[in-house]
Amino acid sequence: MLTLSPAVRIYLATGATDLRRSIDGLCAVVRDRFTLDPLSGHLFLFRNRRGDRLKILAWDRSGFWVLYKRLEQGTFAWPAEDASGPVEMHSTDLALLLSGIDVADASAPLVRARRIIQAVPSCTAAAVRVSCARG
């Protein structure tokens, strides 16, 4: 799980991005498409065409980080291509997105989580999170 400062903003690149790009290529996307500074310390998220892979570009004052996640099943919920630029999201929405939950339909995972907790009251919190992510 990522722990983020409230000052850190999270931007999603709408549509699909070629994830063969490395740090320099993703920085170019941030500069050209978002018209933002990749050295700002904010997080920039990119998804591939199939929707099962995600890259996060981050700067931490000493260098860039690229975090990469591949889903074994399913796809990441993602906004369609939009010419208006990046979509900004909250850190709680990022946690849901990385868990495979559709942020736009955030009410459904809460109901599903309650059902799992009621069905298995002896589960630990970590086991419930895993069950919700897979559910």
Sorted by where each begins, the domain ranges of the chain are: 10-97, 101-135
Burial grade of 64 (CB within 10 A; 0-12, 13-18, 19 or more)? middle
Least confident of 30-39, 61-70, 81-90, 102-111: 102-111
Look at the alpha carbons of 30, 36, 41, 46 in this order and tell me if their dihedral is positive or negative.
negative
pLDDT digits (tens, 9 = 90+) for 1-44: 567 888 899 999 988 999 999 999 999 999 998 899 999 999 99
Burial grade of 42 (CB within 10 A; 0-12, 13-18, 19 or more)? buried
First to last CA, the chain: 19
E-strand ranges in the chain read: 10-12, 43-47, 53-59, 64-70, 87-89
Which pLDDT does position 81 carry in this prediction? 77
Which pLDDT does position 26 carry in this prediction? 97
pLDDT digits (tens, 9 = 90+) for 42-79: 999 999 999 999 999 999 989 999 999 999 988 888 88
